[in-house]
Chain A
Amino acid sequence: MKVTVNGREVETAPDPCRRLLDFLREDQGLAGTKEGCGKGECGACAVLLDGRLVNSCLVLLGQCEGASVETIEGVAGTALHPVQEAMLQLGAVQCGFCTPGLVMASVALLRENPSPTPAEVRRGIEGNLCRCTGYVKVEAAVLDAARRMREA
Chain B
Amino acid sequence: MAATAFARPATVAEALAALAGGGGRWTPVAGGTDLLVRVRDGARPGGLLDLTGIEALRGIREEAGALRIGALATHAEVAAHEVVRKHAAALAEAATVVGSPAIRNRGTIGGNLANASPAADLVPPLVALGAVVEIAGPDGCREVAAEALATGPGRTVLVPGELIAAARVPLPGPGRTSAFRRLGARRALAIAKVSVAVAATVWRDGALSGVRVALGAVAPTVIRAAAAEAALEGRVPSPDVLAEAEAAVRTDARPITDIRSNETWRREMCAVLLRRAVSALAGAHARSGD
- A binding-site residues for B, Cβ under 8 Å: 15-19, 38-41, 43, 46, 49, 52-55, 57-60, 62-63, 65, 105, 108-109, 123-124, 126-128
Contacts and interface: CB of A to CB of B under 8 A. Distances in A.
A151 B40 CA distance: 44
B101 A105 contact: yes
Contacts of A43: 100, 102
Interface stretch (B30-38, B156-164, B237-245, B272-280): B30-38
Given A15-B2, A17-B2, A127-B189, A60 B101 contact: no
A39 B40 contact: yes
B101 A126 contact: yes
Nearest to B8: A62
Given A39-B40, A58-B32, A58-B33, A17 B106 contact: no
Interface residues of B, number: 28
Contacts of A57: 36, 40
A60 B100 contact: no
Interface string B169-207: 000000000000000000111000000000000000000
B103 interface: yes
A54 B102 contact: yes
Query: Counting chain B CB atoms within 10 Å of each CB, which of A17, A18, A19, A126 scores highest?
Result: A17
Contact of A108 (B6, B99, B101, B103): B101
B101 A59 contact: no
Contacts of B50: 16, 60, 62-63
A42 to B, nearest CB: 9
Contact of B32 (A16, A46, A59, A108): A59
Nearest to B36: A58
Interface string B50-76: 101100000000000000000000001
Contacts of B99: 40, 127
Question: Which secondary structure characterizes the binding site on chain B?
Answer: loop
Contacts of B76: 52
Nearest to A37: B40
B106 A60 contact: no
Nearest to B51: A63
A63 B8 contact: yes
Nearest to B76: A52
Nearest to B47: A17
Given A17-B1, A46-B102, A105-B102, 11 more contacts: A40-B99, A43-B100, A54-B105, A55-B33, A55-B103, A57-B36, A58-B37, A62-B6, A126-B189, A127-B188, A128-B100
B2 A40 contact: no
B29 interface: yes
Contacts of A46: 102
A41 B102 CA distance: 10
A58 B188 contact: no
B288 interface: no
B48 interface: yes
A7 to B, nearest CB: 21
Contacts of B29: 60
A123 B48 CA distance: 32
Query: Counting chain B CB atoms within 10 Å of each CB, which of A54, A57, A105, A124 scores highest?
Result: A54
Contact of A52 (B2, B4, B105): B105
A127 B48 contact: no
